Amino acid sequence: MTNLDTQELTREVVGRFTDTPDQRLRTVLSSLVKHMHAFAVDVQLTQEEWLAGINFLTATGQKCTSTRQEFILLSDVLGLSMLTVGLQAKQPVGVTEATVFGPFFVPDAPELQNGDDVAQGAPGRPCTVSGSVRGVTGEPIRGAVIDVWQADEEGFYDVQKSDLTKAQARGRLRSRDDGSFEFRSIVAEAYPIPTDGPVGTLLEATKRSPWRPAHLHFMIQAEGYETLITHVFKMGDLYLDSDPVFGVRPSLVADWVPQADGTTVLHYDFVLAPAQSRPSVR
């Protein structure tokens, strides 16, 4: 037993992972410890600050429920979620860019037909959304499973409304034989990410805005293709350059075009990457 200086302590902790059978786990944990120790040295972390950090993470965990994931929100506002999106295998030219998943996806959304109304009573200005799903050589992808979800004009997803007993502004449809799809919905509007938890406290303490630019979420899955998780953002939105979760990509910005009859039309064509065989994570 010896007294360890800072560098020796880091080496000693990393050394304790030597016998980890899972090599990927060993790599990840060793790197995590090295970077965490380097961070503490860099800022000369005090014990009070260490405890404040522990309390913050504890509150973050305590805020989580089956419909609220405060840790993902924390990862989002620290840019870690978008960083991992960017670290995914490089996609072929022309493939639609991915962005953050966000916390409001619900599996088993209502099954809809092309032309149906996704809004299902959610308040907002009516709009029609159409587009296509294709592969990189332009081949139409038929039967692609298209999940869409969005906030209403008051900035809330259906899962945030405790008095609502059915899905609103979300649904699942399939692309037609020529790869096209179409549905009715409401115009996407900007909204603030939830600020009633520790992440809100962090944003307030750092004078950061919680407002996300208006967007419509898509997840598109098709046999033989990579699953695409993305949004389409509204052109001209005030918050495109200050998204609190860093999700905006210029290629994902599109025009909701006003029509003479007072409705609005959005058209967006998606391109999926061919399925890749990649090494498993472990």
Binding region for Fe ion (CB under 5 A)? 102
Choosing among ligand BEZ, Fe ion, none, which partner's interface includes residue 135 (Cβ < 5 to 8 Å by kind)?
none
Determine the residue type at 244: P
- Considering the complex, state which of residue 37 and residue 172 has its C-beta at the smaller distance from ligand BEZ: 172
Minimum CB separation of residue 245 from Fe ion in Å reads: 9
Which residue's Cβ has the minimum distance to Fe ion?
102
Does 63 sit near ligand BEZ (CB under 6 A)? no
Per CB under 6 A, the segment of 18-26, 57-65, 96-104, 115-123 that binds ligand BEZ is: 96-104
Minimum CB separation of residue 255 from ligand BEZ in Å reads: 20
Cβ-proximal residues to 159 (8 Å cutoff; 6+ apart), any chain: 67, 104, 106
Minimum CB separation of residue 105 from ligand BEZ in Å reads: 8
Q: Pick one of 60, 63, 75, 76: the residue that binds ligand BEZ (CB under 6 A).
A: 76
Q: Pick one of 190, 193, 254, 273: the residue that binds ligand BEZ (CB under 6 A).
A: 193
Task: For the segment 109-168, give every residue that binds ligand BEZ (CB under 6 A).
Answer: none
Phi-psi region at 25: left, alpha or beta (left = phi > 0; alpha = psi -120 to 50) = alpha
Choosing among ligand BEZ, Fe ion, none, which partner's interface includes residue 225 (Cβ < 5 to 8 Å by kind)?
none
**Dihedral sign, Cα of residue 135, residue 139, residue 145, residue 148:** positive
| Binding footprint of ligand BEZ, residue count (CB under 6 A) | 9
Q: How far apart are CA 273 and CA 260, in angstroms?
A: 37
Question: Residue 175 in 3-state DSSP?
Answer: coil
Task: For the segment 233-262, give every residue that binds ligand BEZ (CB under 6 A).
Answer: 245
- Considering the complex, state which of residue 104 and residue 256 has its C-beta at the smaller distance from ligand BEZ: 104
Minimum CB separation of residue 27 from Fe ion in Å reads: 33
Minimum CB separation of residue 104 from ligand BEZ in Å reads: 4
Checking 194-198 for CB contacts under 8 A at 24+ apart, the result is 194/68, 194/73, 194/160, 197/59, 197/60, 197/63, 197/68, 197/70, 197/73, 198/56, 198/59, 198/60, 198/63, 198/70, 198/74
- Tell me the CB-side half-sphere exposure of residue 250, using CA atoms within 13 A: 0
Q: Among 213, 190, 212, which Cα is nearest to 199's?
A: 212
Q: How far apart are CA 282 and CA 280, in angstroms?
A: 6
Q: What is the DSSP letter of 240?
A: T
Does 212 sit near ligand BEZ (CB under 6 A)? yes
Is residue 117 exposed (0-12), middle (13-18) or buried (19+ Cβ within 10 Å)?
middle
- Considering the complex, state which of residue 25 and residue 83 has its C-beta at the smaller distance from ligand BEZ: 83
Residues of this chain that bind ligand BEZ (CB under 6 A): 73, 76, 100, 102-104, 193, 212, 245
